[in-house]
């Protein structure tokens, strides 16, 4: 009987702890966050011959660390190696073509998705009302792939 009271008595504490941890996760400062996360996103789904529909889904959002190393003075890797104390980054040959940099640009992109299909409202008789879009399951910082992401450069 006493064990039952202990278990039932601790249940509100577990629920309260879950609410507090969810609150902390939602208090992320989006201006300083570096990384890639799944985040709720709303967009207008449109198709010729159908009325548009607002859809809320999960999408990838974030900023990933990126860097470039200018290849000057012939062999800069020899100059930078003591600073980084890691020879594994410098196994590549120098870049001999313009713009003469060793670039590592990663973007927040989809790692795993699930396709979701909805029916758009008020479609013309000859128009299929089905509209399919990806929902993010997991996002990571990685090389931009045009198969899943719009890879635009400035």
Pair (54, 90) in one structural domain: no
Pair (75, 150) in one structural domain: no
Q: Tell me if 22 is assigned to some domain.
A: no
Q: Is the pTM of this model over 0.95?
A: no
Greater model confidence, 34 or 132? 132
Per the document, the length of the chain is 154
Domain hosting 58: range is 30-66+105-154
Question: Which residue do the tokens 């929902």 mark?
Answer: 135
Query: What pLDDT, on the 0 to 100 scale, is given for residue 11?
Result: 34
Query: What pLDDT, on the 0 to 100 scale, is given for residue 102?
Result: 66
Pair (51, 113) in one structural domain: yes
Structure-token pair, residue 62: 């974030």
Three-state helix/strand/coil letters over 64-96: CCCEEEECCCCCHHHHHHHHHCCHHHHCCCCCC
C-alpha closest to that of 101 among 66, 69, 73, 72: 69
Pair (62, 128) in one structural domain: yes
Query: What pLDDT, on the 0 to 100 scale, is given for residue 91?
Result: 47
* Sign of the Cα pseudo-torsion (54, 59, 65, 67, in order): negative
Q: Tell me if 1 is assigned to some domain.
A: no
Pair (35, 87) in one structural domain: no
User: Per-residue pLDDT for 52 more than 90?
Assistant: yes
How many domains would you assign to the chain?
2
Pair (77, 142) in one structural domain: no
**CATH number of the domain bearing residue 139:** 2.10.90.10
**CA atoms of 68 and 72, how far apart (whole Å):** 12
Query: What pLDDT, on the 0 to 100 scale, is given for residue 53?
Result: 97
What's the whole-number mean pLDDT along residues 142-148?
Answer: 80
Pair (94, 58) in one structural domain: no
Q: Tell me if 109 is assigned to some domain.
A: yes
């Amino acid at each position: 009987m006493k064990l039952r009271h202990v278990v039932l008595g601790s249940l509100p504490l577990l629920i309260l702890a879950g609410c507090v941890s969810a609150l902390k996760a939602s208090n992320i400062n989006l201006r300083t966050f570096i990384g890639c996360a799944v985040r709720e996103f709303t967009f207008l789904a449109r198709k010729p011959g159908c009325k548009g529909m607002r859809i809320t889904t999960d999408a990838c959002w974030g900023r990933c660390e990126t860097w470039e190393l200018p290849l000057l003075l012939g062999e800069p890797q020899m100059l930078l190696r003591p600073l980084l104390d890691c020879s594994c980054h410098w196994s590549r040959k120098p870049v001999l073509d313009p713009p003469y940099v060793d670039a590592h640009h990663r973007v927040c992109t989809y790692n795993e998705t699930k396709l979701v299909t909805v029916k758009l409202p008020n479609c013309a008789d000859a128009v299929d009302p089905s509209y399919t879009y990806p929902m993010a399951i997991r996002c990571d910082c990685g090389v931009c792939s045009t198969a899943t992401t719009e890879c635009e450069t400035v």
